[in-house]
Amino acid sequence: MSPASPVTLCDLLGRQQPGMTLEQPFYTDPGIFEEDLNRIVARQWLYVDHVSAIPQPGDVLTYEIAGESIILVRGRDREVRAFFNVCRHRGSRIITKACDHVRTLTCPYHAWTWDLEGKLVKARSMADDFRTEDWPLHACRTRIYQGLVFICLAEEDDDDVIEFDSIADRLDPYIENHCLGAAKVAARKAYPTAGNWKLAVENFRECYHCAPAHPGYTSVNAYVLDGERDQQARSETVAAWAATWEERGVVTRSTGVWGDSYDERQPHAAMRQPIKEGYRTLSRDGRPVAPLMGRLIDWDGGETLMVFGPLFYIYLAGDHAALFRFTPVHATHTDVEVTWLVNGDAREGEDYDEERLTWMWDVTTIEDTRIIGDNQLGVNSRRYRPGRYSTRERATTNFVEWYKRRMGDQL
Amino acid sequence: MSPASPVTLCDLLGRQQPGMTLEQPFYTDPGIFEEDLNRIVARQWLYVDHVSAIPQPGDVLTYEIAGESIILVRGRDREVRAFFNVCRHRGSRIITKACDHVRTLTCPYHAWTWDLEGKLVKARSMADDFRTEDWPLHACRTRIYQGLVFICLAEEDDDDVIEFDSIADRLDPYIENHCLGAAKVAARKAYPTAGNWKLAVENFRECYHCAPAHPGYTSVNAYVLDGERDQQARSETVAAWAATWEERGVVTRSTGVWGDSYDERQPHAAMRQPIKEGYRTLSRDGRPVAPLMGRLIDWDGGETLMVFGPLFYIYLAGDHAALFRFTPVHATHTDVEVTWLVNGDAREGEDYDEERLTWMWDVTTIEDTRIIGDNQLGVNSRRYRPGRYSTRERATTNFVEWYKRRMGDQL
Amino acid sequence: MSPASPVTLCDLLGRQQPGMTLEQPFYTDPGIFEEDLNRIVARQWLYVDHVSAIPQPGDVLTYEIAGESIILVRGRDREVRAFFNVCRHRGSRIITKACDHVRTLTCPYHAWTWDLEGKLVKARSMADDFRTEDWPLHACRTRIYQGLVFICLAEEDDDDVIEFDSIADRLDPYIENHCLGAAKVAARKAYPTAGNWKLAVENFRECYHCAPAHPGYTSVNAYVLDGERDQQARSETVAAWAATWEERGVVTRSTGVWGDSYDERQPHAAMRQPIKEGYRTLSRDGRPVAPLMGRLIDWDGGETLMVFGPLFYIYLAGDHAALFRFTPVHATHTDVEVTWLVNGDAREGEDYDEERLTWMWDVTTIEDTRIIGDNQLGVNSRRYRPGRYSTRERATTNFVEWYKRRMGDQL
């Protein structure tokens, strides 16, 4: 059966009210999910992994997003490149199972073979007019930043993608002293989440829910209750902390409030604030969970949230970085992966303990998977109607407004 | 791919023949299933549970139907109310897990809080022009009848819903002496059924299939074979039984034959007949399975079928009531729940035994789940064509004709 | 959401390039899959089973294909007939579970009863104008050929189906001496395959992939490497083998190269070639795995591939036949069944050993399920584009060109 009068994406966008949550189909409809992938996700720089995952030429890994499988491989020239995991002959996956090193990229089906730079070097029994140079692997844009590999699925001629340099230039001061390129992965956990990716993002970008829903997180982050109880006092606390550390040359001012958009194509930002009186890091008791990172000069008691568009965030503390990667899977499912980095020379058991390191974000993210799943179930109701955001959900509101503009621009 | 020329619901209804089963899409198409939910299911009074499930103020349960989760809660004023389980803020489920008592209805996400009557009493950090009185929970129509809680999903201004009183007025004489409001739930069983809800309803409303498919049921209910063998003799048996009991003030005449429609919006009826020579109740051997219910004066050897629209039925015997609740789940799945009620003061093991009490309907309903699943599989075939109903499927035919009128009226 | 401008099947067919793989939707779209079933699969003669599965009157089996359940039953006249497993009354399945013998075809729902020839013989309580002769079971075309049962799902008046006799006439010389009608089923294995049926068929029809992907098969079949290394030498080997055996009256010439189409409605062919120097049959070491079949005069060291349209193939060796049945299940799933036949009087453990008999096709088909699954995953990518077939994929190319013509003819 086809519906009598289908509602279009245009109609839906047209009737959205500012300051209100999205209408139901944006959270449930498989067709809109496909549009999200094509219009939003495919045009973002997306974090994949830390470079230490493929240290040597021929080291390889794959990342599945938006129905794609992307091969990351380090070439003989030590450059990291990304390719679509699709054979140019009949379309087979080329890397088909757990595999961490290759000499060439050889399709297991008919043995078409590409070198590590994506050039076709062997294809048996082709007609005489077949030219191998016409059939390189489909390349995928790649960029390494602070030891983190980013890709972008958009075609090369799609100019609706931000220059990565403009992100890097703005965010360098907040991240460069952590020297993440020399860090190591201390822990990595997966949080499958039964909700639309936008519900997961909305959740991540506000802390209005922290007091009722995240007791552990709230016990560590003073801003949650401070801001709720007395905004004025909170501002003074932040100002005093900033004054102390600016004097010592530490950056403490944010690029802007959370979620502010510097570039419509991929809004990015960094925000700093003090953790809690007496707390050096984001741990249960405030005591360090690993050695001070990189070139940091002292425990400044601050935390940094870095925003790389809707789907990737970093929380920096003095002794670790927590990386949050959101992978939309289908209209009502999102995979969240959290990766914890510490200094490259830190030794597990001596310099850090995984349980203490991961505690706060692990309990918080587990709580969020439940929250987001319940949010999705409610949004599925015929009686769901857009609701009104509070004053404490500004970065979430900003995301939703940005989402609507991006979807609308492209109609 | 989109179909070349989509068939509309109008086309399908237009070419249906009277006295014939429905065309395939009515039993298989997800789009028609959605229309069924909106046009039919959402406009019926639907049985949820017996009031004894939530006896005290703050007692709460949820019922999932038609993609909705409905909260039933008893207020401080002891009234039972129903609400859509959807937060007015961002749409989260409010009751999110097994929970049988609450002090308030508090969303676990951002702690918006409603009282047990559905009034918003707390929402932190909202803009100054936010008025809590504008954001009550979405109420759901509720009605208690004979201790049974009914709801209706339709919006308050939808007048295509029957007044419950007109059902009550007509059916009171058949049910009031059982005093179901003072009864207790003795057993409850779930029968997941792999068929469209209309196949489940068609099955329930005819006994043409009983002789071949339900040996247990047929051994108890004389009408199955009597009616098949000699309609005249059967009529005389019924008349004799009626004469005996009418004399003692017992209602024996039906409101009409099965499936007759008194109100197009929600056809309802009650029908009485004798069980079998020497049988006091619907048990394997005809002997009682529990104490005589409520204010009944004697074992009259009759059974009563009560029809509350397509999705809820009660079978009354002298010592128990069996409640049949049909919940459409998706185009090819229906959940059937059977609940057995006995007198509120009957004690298990002394006054009744669950196995004896539930035997007939349990074996019969298990058989029906298999039958309906096989019916669905056959109907899925490209070669399925509408077939002709027999003379013994009149209540099923009535249902199908009513269904077609209801779907057509609303085009 | 409905797509802004749906692509039609016509558009897709119109932009396909010759010699290139199909565009993505042909391998992924559920709507095209339905069209495939209706336009292609339903119009093919489809192999079901060997006649020995239902030797006696009343013996019965069912085969599920294209959403249908087909009953095969041997009548009292010993004829094998096929019927759609759909009751003419309310559409129930008639044969509902494992069942290998019946006296009548009786629907378990309301006991409508057909004789083994499909004539309705009992339907209780029908209106006076009901005539049983109007309600036979839906017959399905059936044909026995060389002991193999074929069916065709098309309606009787659909003349876009080949006459089976024209297939039989052409293929008789290649198969009749094997006397498959007197053979027995020695083994049968199922290979569920996570790929579109056309990917499975494309895979089966070329051996370009054998050297890289099938080491076992390649070690047995000399043509794989011979043809790749030196086509000229290979032609001479084949010619010498043909000369030797033609002299003894054995057919050695193919009806045409693989995949050539003799009849657009159901392309069929037979192709012969020598196995490998010193090999008598398709076994690991070339030694026989069972007695010489039927009326064969000697071990001629050849193998025969018989093509019955896209969905059924037979590989004949001197001592066994391997039957390959492809059953499309949904857009990205195909069930492959391989059945091994040996002489009817061969005894397991004495005359043949199942492991030796099945080795080559079993390992090869397991490998193919993996290959096809990986092919499907890659084809799902947004970046998949049609690729170019090699010179060694001619029968695959033929199949794809035929597929496009068949789909286009019917628009």
Note the pLDDT tens digit of each residue in A153-188.
Answer: 999 899 899 999 999 999 999 999 999 999 999 999
- Beta-sheet pairing, C148-152 with C105-106: unpaired
Report chain B residues whose CB lies below 8 A from the CB of A21.
Answer: 90-91
Considering chain A, what percentage of its residues have pLDDT values greater than 70?
96
Report chain B residues whose CB lies below 8 A from the CB of C8.
Answer: 1-2, 4
Report chain C residues whose CB lies below 8 A from the CB of A95.
Answer: none
- The ranges of chain C with pLDDT < 70 are 1-6, 256-261, 410-411
Q: Which residue has the tokens 């996570």?
A: C194
Helix (H) or strand (E) holding A402: helix A394-409
- CB within 8 A of C13, min separation 6: which ones? C404, C407, C408, C411
Interface partners of chain C (CB pairs < 8 Å, 3 or more) are A, B
pLDDT in the model for residue A319: 98
CA distance B20 to chain C (A): 9
Q: Which of A6, A87, A88 sits opposite C2 (nearest CB)?
A: A6
Per-residue pLDDT of chain A (411 residues; tens, 9 = 90+): 444 456 788 899 999 999 999 999 999 999 999 999 999 999 999 999 999 999 999 999 999 998 899 999 999 999 999 999 999 999 999 998 778 999 999 999 999 999 999 999 999 999 999 999 999 999 999 999 999 999 999 998 998 999 999 999 999 999 999 999 999 999 999 999 999 999 999 999 999 999 999 999 999 999 999 977 888 999 999 999 999 999 999 999 988 654 455 789 999 999 999 999 999 999 999 999 999 999 999 999 999 999 999 999 999 999 999 999 999 999 999 999 999 999 999 999 999 999 999 999 999 999 999 999 999 999 999 899 999 999 999 999 999 999 999 998 755
**Tally of CB atoms within 10 A around B217:** 21
pLDDT in the model for residue C6: 63
Sketch out chain B's domains with CATH numbers: 46-152 (2.102.10.10), 172-391 (3.90.380.10)
Q: Per the CB < 8 Å rule, is B381 touching C86?
A: yes
What tokens appear for C328 in the block?
């499309």
CA B223 to chain centroid: 23
Q: Per the CB < 8 Å rule, is B390 touching C123?
A: yes
Closest CA to B112 of B129, B89, B133, B93: B89
pLDDT in the model for residue A68: 93
Helix, strand, coil shares of chain A, percent, nearest 5, are 30, 25, 45
Amino acid at residue number A60: V
Q: How far apart are CA B175 and CA B266, in angstroms?
A: 18
Beta bridge partners of C328: C334
Which of B366, B388, B389, B391 is the best mutation test for C, with the most CBs of C within 10 A? B388
Give the C-alpha distances (Å, rounded to integers) separating A267 from A110, A156, A260. Answer: 43, 21, 7
Q: Which of B6, B85, B153 sits opposite A378 (nearest CB)?
A: B85
Closest CA to C4 of A411, B132, B310: A411
Report chain C residues whose CB lies below 8 A from the CB of B202.
Answer: 90
CA distance C384 to chain A (A): 6
What are φ and ψ of residue C16, in 5° steps?
-70, 140
- Say whether A322 sits in a helix, a strand or coil: strand
On the 0-12 / 13-18 / 19+ scale of CB atoms within 10 A, B111 is: middle
Contact in structure between B123 and B89 (CB atoms under 8 Å): yes
**Tally of CB atoms within 10 A around B249:** 7
Contact in structure between B37 and B66 (CB atoms under 8 Å): yes
Interface partners of chain B (CB pairs < 8 Å, 3 or more) are A, C
Amino acid at residue number B187: A
CA distance C25 to chain A (A): 13
Closest CA to C161 of C141, C145, C180: C141
What is the three-state SS of chain C? CCCCCCCCHHHHHHCCCCCECCCCHHHHCHHHHHHHHHHCHHHCCEEEEEHHHCCCCCEEEEEEECCEEEEEEECCCCCEEEEECCCCCCCCCCCCCCCCECCCEECCCCCCEECCCCCEEECCCCCCCCCHHHCCCCEEEEEEECCEEEEECCCCCCCCCCCHHHHHHHHHHHHHHHCHHHEEEEEEEEEEECCCHHHHHHHHCCCCCHHHHCHHHHHHCHHHHHHHHCHHHHHHHHHHHHHHHHCCCCCCCCCCCCCCCCCCCCCEEEEEEECCCCCCCCCCCCCCCCCCCCCCCCCCCEEEEEEECCCEEEEECCCCEEEEEEEEEECCEEEEEEEEEEECCCCECCCECHHHHHHHHHHHHHHHHHHHHHHHHHHCCCCCCCCECCCCCHHHHHHHHHHHHHHHHCC
Contact in structure between C208 and C349 (CB atoms under 8 Å): no
Directed axis angle between helix A394-409 and helix A197-204, to 10°?
Answer: 140
Read off the pLDDT band of B1 (50, 70, 90).
very low
pLDDT in the model for residue B8: 86
Beta bridge partners of C313: C307, C324
Report chain B residues whose CB lies below 8 A from the CB of A208.
Answer: 110, 124-125
What tokens appear for A305 in the block?
């949230």
What tokens appear for A366 in the block?
């587990």
Helix (H) or strand (E) holding A358: helix A354-379
Q: How far apart are CA C218 and CA C233, in angstroms?
A: 17
- Say whether A169 sits in a helix, a strand or coil: helix
Mean pLDDT, residues B264-291 taken together: 96
Q: What's the whole-number average pLDDT of chain B?
A: 94
Considering chain B, what percentage of its residues have pLDDT values greater than 70?
96
Would an 8 Å CB–CB cutoff place A224 in contact with chain C? Answer: no
Q: Per the CB < 8 Å rule, is B138 touching A383?
A: yes
Which of B39, B84, B90, B151 is the best mutation test for A, with the most CBs of A within 10 A? B90
What residue ranges in B176-223 does DSSP mark as E strands?
183-193
Q: What is the DSSP letter of B312?
A: E
pLDDT in the model for residue B174: 96
What is the three-state SS of A186-224? EEEEEEEECCCHHHHHHHHCCCCCHHHHCHHHHHHCHHH
What tokens appear for A352 in the block?
């850090």
Closest CA to A196 of A75, A60, A53, A376: A376
Would an 8 Å CB–CB cutoff place C213 in contact with chain A? Answer: yes
Q: How far apart are CA B267 and CA A327, in angstroms?
A: 50
Would an 8 Å CB–CB cutoff place A67 in contact with chain C? Answer: yes
Q: How far apart are CA C306 and CA B346, in angstroms?
A: 74
Give the C-alpha distances (Å, rounded to integers) separating B295 from A104, B93, B119, B179, B194. Answer: 86, 42, 40, 7, 40
What is the three-state SS of B262-303? CCCCCCEEEEEEECCCCCCCCCCCCCCCCCCCCCCCCCCCEE
**What was the ipTM of the complex prediction?**
0.89
What tokens appear for A375 in the block?
């949010």
- CB within 8 A of B237, min separation 6: which ones? B222, B226, B274
Read off the pLDDT band of B259 (50, 70, 90).
very low
Beta bridge partners of A65: A68
Interface of A with C in 117-136 (CB under 8 A): 123-127, 130, 135
Beta bridge partners of B219: none
Mean pLDDT, residues B146-167 taken together: 95
Q: How far apart are CA A130 and CA A112, in angstroms?
A: 13
Q: What is the DSSP letter of B44?
A: S
- CB within 8 A of B26, min separation 6: which ones? B12, B32, B196, B198
pLDDT in the model for residue A66: 86
Q: Per the CB < 8 Å rule, is C86 touching B384?
A: yes
Q: Which of C375, C383, C388 sits opposite A109 (nearest CB)?
A: C375
Read off the pLDDT band of B5 (50, 70, 90).
low
Interface of A with C in 72-91 (CB under 8 A): 84-91
